[in-house]
């Protein structure tokens, strides 16, 4: 239930609202109770002063017997529990309740007299909670004829005010405020829940439902929302995104259809080219053999011998083109073994140095010692590096520097052996650089455009990467990265070749 965001928001807001309202209600009830107690205190104090003045006036006139009548008359007030005058020693001298005269005053009333605070609230059975207040009656000059001059206080006026009515008022006020607080909380909770459900949850549910349709491939659904708030802007952006996705999907489908058509055509062309290549290779081999025999039978001074040599070179070039075409169409699978890349580089450079264009090239080797082995096909890696080195030689026809560096690299939490082959030749223009791995694309007069595509294909068959950067001033840099060989978990001692046979 509480997995819903809207439910959690509603529950949180209602909890905070209820907590806030009831905290406010608690302090407000306490404030009202204090106010009612204060009003009772003021009423009692006013009544106390009134009785005090009446007693003073009566005693000044010498009508001491009227004091009891005044106390009895005041004691008839329905909020008063008792009105009395007691001696400073605690004996009741006059009272609105005649039976109290001569008795000791209640200890709570007597303690008030001895306390600087002249009032207090305590429980007095059977009257319940009362507000008691005391006031000393001082021995003034007018009182000397009857009470003498020695005593400073001739009596203590005591009034007990019943708080029963005040407590009922406080209870009614508290009940009314609590009921109103509960009603306000319920009303606000319903209002907030309704607003959240209508303006937040409903649009979000529609958004989730539409997104589910989009995930299943239906891009035609749209959300109808008229609001201009944040939810409205979100839904408007979502609808706009669907429109763009719909257009993009249509464009992708169109491009995919064209790619499929192109792939079918290329597959057909590849099959046809492979068939033609096979048909041409056999007679071409016969022609090459026949020309070689005829050339061997001629004397070295015969002018036709050089012509036959040129024809034989062209036949060999055609044979190489056919071999490249057949290899690119269906390359042989790598025969994996643990290979030392540094050894492959050294062997390849020996072969390449015998090429007629490599004599004037300065060669720099920086091979990292203790380089980890790679799991690769030795001959195919040699073919890749030989092709790259010969291309570097061709770009430095006037001489230059060939640099080959090996080392380690790390990508995507995997270790690789890195081989950098750079030259100081004329470089590759940017508009050509992005096409050099495209089959049959070449800028050479006698090239087939399959050398670099074959290199790329072989490197990717080894789960590696080949990249190129070039600058017209600094030459070209080819980088080959091959994954480091690691022992399979099922065979901690012996590596496996690509067919699963132990080496």
96: its two tokens: 């609105």
Is the model's pLDDT at 499 over the cut of 60? no
Is the model's pLDDT at 490 over the cut of 60? no
Query: What is the structure's pLDDT at 3?
Result: 63
Which of 11-25, 202-216, 411-425, 488-502 has the highest mean predicted lDDT (pLDDT)? 411-425
Give the separation between CA 386 and CA 148, rounded to whole angstroms: 139
pLDDT tens for 297-334 read 777 777 777 777 777 767 776 666 666 666 665 566 77
Phi, psi angles (nearest 5°) of residue 302: -70, 125
CB of 78 within 8 A of CB of 130? no
Is the model's pLDDT at 474 over the cut of 70? yes
Residue with tokens 């690691």: 486
The three-state (H, E, C) secondary structure of 137-170, written as one string: EECCHHHHHHHCCCCCEEEEEEEEEECHHHHHHH
Query: What is the structure's pLDDT at 222?
Result: 74
pLDDT tens for 325-359 read 666 655 667 788 888 999 999 988 888 877 766 66
pTM as predicted:
0.42
Higher-pLDDT residue of 263, 491 = 263
Helix (H, G, I), strand (E, B) or coil at 203: helix
Give the separation between CA 37 and CA 40, rounded to whole angstroms: 5
Write out the E strands in 218-294. none
Query: What is the structure's pLDDT at 150?
Result: 76
Q: Identify the structural domains of the chain with CATH numbers, from first to last.
A: 5-170 (3.30.450.20), 337-483 (3.30.565.10)
Element (H, E) at 476: strand 475-483
458: its two tokens: 């072989």
Range in 105-109, 149-153, 376-380, 443-447 the model is least confident about: 443-447
Task: Find all residues with CB under 8 Å of 436, minimum gap 6, and list them.
Answer: 428, 452, 468
In 3D space, the residue among 466, 348, 490, 350 whose CA is nearest the CA of residue 416 turns out to be 466
Query: What is the structure's pLDDT at 404?
Result: 93
Give the separation between CA 444 and CA 446, rounded to whole angstroms: 5
Write out the E strands in 315-398. 337-339, 361-366, 374-376
CB of 154 within 8 A of CB of 138? yes
Query: What is the structure's pLDDT at 304?
Result: 73
For the chain, percent of residues with pLDDT exceeding 70: 80
Residue with tokens 């010692």: 369
Is the model's pLDDT at 493 over the cut of 60? no
Query: What is the structure's pLDDT at 500?
Result: 42
Range in 86-100, 331-345, 371-385, 482-496 the model is least confident about: 482-496
Query: What is the structure's pLDDT at 502?
Result: 43
Query: What is the structure's pLDDT at 491?
Result: 47
Range in 145-149, 175-179, 270-274 the model is least confident about: 270-274
Angle in degrees, CA 37, 38, 42, rounded to 5: 120
396: its two tokens: 């430095």
**Average of per-residue pLDDT across 98-104:** 84
Q: Hey, CA dihedral for 62, 68, 72, 77, is it positive or negative?
A: positive
Is the model's pLDDT at 489 over the cut of 60? no
pLDDT tens for 201-224 read 777 787 777 778 777 777 677 777
Is the model's pLDDT at 373 over the cut of 80? yes
In 3D space, the residue among 421, 409, 354, 410 whose CA is nearest the CA of residue 381 turns out to be 421
Give the separation between CA 95 and CA 81, rounded to whole angstroms: 11
Is the model's pLDDT at 362 over the cut of 80? yes
Q: Hey, CA dihedral for 144, 145, 148, 153, is it positive or negative?
A: negative
Is the model's pLDDT at 460 over the cut of 80? yes
What letter would DSSP give residue 368? Answer: P
CB of 464 within 8 A of CB of 483? yes
């Amino acid at each position: 239930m509480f997995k819903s965001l809207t439910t959690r928001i509603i529950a949180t807001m209602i909890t905070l609202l209820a907590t806030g309202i009831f905290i406010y209600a608690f302090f407000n009830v306490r404030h009202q109770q204090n106010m009612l107690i204060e009003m009772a205190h003021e009423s009692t104090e006013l009544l106390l002063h009134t009785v005090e003045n009446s007693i003073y006036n009566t005693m000044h006139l010498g009508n001491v017997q009227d004091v009891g009548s005044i106390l009895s008359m005041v004691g008839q007030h329905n909020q008063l529990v008792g009105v009395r005058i007691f001696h400073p020693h605690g004996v009741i001298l006059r009272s609105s309740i005649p039976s109290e005269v001569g008795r000791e005053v209640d200890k709570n009333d007597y303690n008030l007299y001895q306390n600087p605070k002249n009032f207090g609230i305590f429980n007095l059975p059977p009257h319940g909670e009362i507000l008691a207040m005391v006031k000393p009656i001082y021995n003034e000059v007018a009182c000397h004829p009857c009470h003498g001059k020695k005593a400073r206080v001739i009596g203590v006026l005591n009034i007990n005010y019943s708080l029963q009515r005040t407590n009922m008022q406080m209870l009614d006020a508290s009940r009314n405020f609590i009921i109103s607080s509960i009603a306000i909380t319920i009303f606000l909770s319903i209002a907030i829940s309704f607003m959240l459900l209508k303006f937040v949850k409903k649009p979000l549910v529609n958004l989730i439902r539409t997104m589910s349709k989009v995930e299943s491939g239906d891009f035609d659904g749209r959300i109808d929302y008229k609001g201009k708030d944040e939810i409205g802007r979100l839904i408007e952006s979502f609808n706009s995104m669907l429109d763009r996705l719909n257009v993009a999907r249509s464009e992708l489908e169109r491009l995919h259809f064209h790619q499929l058509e192109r792939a079918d055509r290329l597959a057909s062309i590849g099959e046809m080219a492979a068939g033609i290549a096979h048909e041409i290779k056999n007679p071409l081999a016969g022609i090459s053999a026949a020309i070689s025999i005829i050339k061997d039978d001629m004397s070295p001074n015969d002018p036709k011998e050089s012509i036959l040599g040129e024809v034989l070179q062209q036949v060999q070039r055609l044979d190489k083109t056919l071999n490249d075409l057949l290899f690119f169409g269906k390359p042989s699978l790598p025969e994996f073994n643990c290979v030392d890349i540094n050894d492959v580089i050294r062997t390849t450079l020996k072969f390449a140095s015998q090429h007629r264009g490599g004599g004037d090239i300065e060669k720099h080797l920086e091979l990292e010692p203790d380089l980890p082995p790679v799991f690769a096909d030795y001959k195919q890696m040699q073919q890749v590096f030989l092709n790259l080195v010969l291309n570097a030689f061709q770009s430095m026809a006037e001489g230059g520097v060939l640099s080959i560096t090996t080392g380690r690299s790390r990508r995507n939490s995997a270790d690789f052996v890195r081989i950098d082959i750079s030259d100081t030749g004329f470089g590759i223009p940017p508009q050509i650089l992005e096409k050099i791995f495209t089959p049959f694309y070449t800028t050479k007069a006698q090239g087939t455009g399959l050398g670099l595509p074959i290199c790329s294909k072989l490197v990717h068959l080894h789960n590696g990467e080949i990249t190129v950067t070039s600058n017209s001033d600094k030459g070209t840099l080819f980088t080959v990265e091959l994954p480091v060989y690691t022992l399979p978990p099922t065979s901690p001692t012996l590596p496996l070749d690509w067919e699963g046979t132990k080496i």
